[in-house]
Chain A
Amino acid sequence: EAGVVQSPRYKIIEKKQPVAFWCNPISGHNTLYWYLQNLGQGPELLIRYENEEAVDDSQLPKDRFSAERLKGVDSTLKIQPAELGDSAVYLCASSLASTGELFFGEGSRLTVL
């Protein structure tokens, strides 16, 4: 079992450029989360999917962030345009709704210059 797979692991871009992160959850996990983790902080929820439906996107800055989970499996998180303050680690996690345990990917570290 590969676990939750995220790519890229690291990304450095200049401000105002677009960036996209990809997540492949554990097979069979219907719930997928995107979290933002700033240095020294805990994960903060950006968006949660139940299958292909975004059921909680209240913390997603919709003016520049977008996400999709086509076919209820893989997911993509996009930022356009990126700002300096977006530098952080973007974590993807998946779970079975019945257990509540989140399985995390290794994260995608974004640096905006």
Chain B
Amino acid sequence: AQRVTQPEKLLSVFKGAPVELKCNYSYSGSPELFWYVQYSRQRLQLLLRHISRESIKGFTADLNKGETSFHLKKPFAQEEDSAMYYCALRNPGGYQKVTFGTGTKLQVIP
């Protein structure tokens, strides 16, 4: 069974402080990991995926297979980063099931 765990429901940081949103997963294989974001009054949308290894809006995430983690990081938080963040795992095989974590609300304090 595949599972995604986001241990923090709420993370509050001051503007300019570093951010790390934690995500751990359980999957027997090589999964595809994603971070989705939902800004206030907007639909859920993709932020980044591990296979592209790119930085989006200053956010990066590295897949650590040894620790089964895919933490989302940003060195300097901005007020516009305040949103709900969901980590997701996709089974890349024929089944291609996508499982989401429970989400972490990031609150950036001015």
By a beta-carbon cutoff of 8 Å, the part of chain A in contact with chain B is 3, 31, 33, 35, 40-45, 48, 55-56, 91, 93, 97, 100-107
* A-chain residues with CB within 8 Å of residue B88 when the two chains form the complex: 102
By a beta-carbon cutoff of 8 Å, the part of chain B in contact with chain A is 4, 6, 9, 32, 34, 36, 43-46, 49, 86, 88, 90, 92, 95-103
B95 is contacted by which of A40, A56, A91 (Cβ under 8 Å)?
A56
SS of B interface (majority): strand
* A-chain residues with CB within 8 Å of residue B34 when the two chains form the complex: 100-101
Given the interface pairs A91-B44, A102-B46, A104-B44, the reply to whether A42 lies near B86 with Cβ below 8 Å is yes
Distance of B7 from chain A, by nearest CB (Å): 13
* B-chain residues with CB within 8 Å of residue A93 when the two chains form the complex: 44
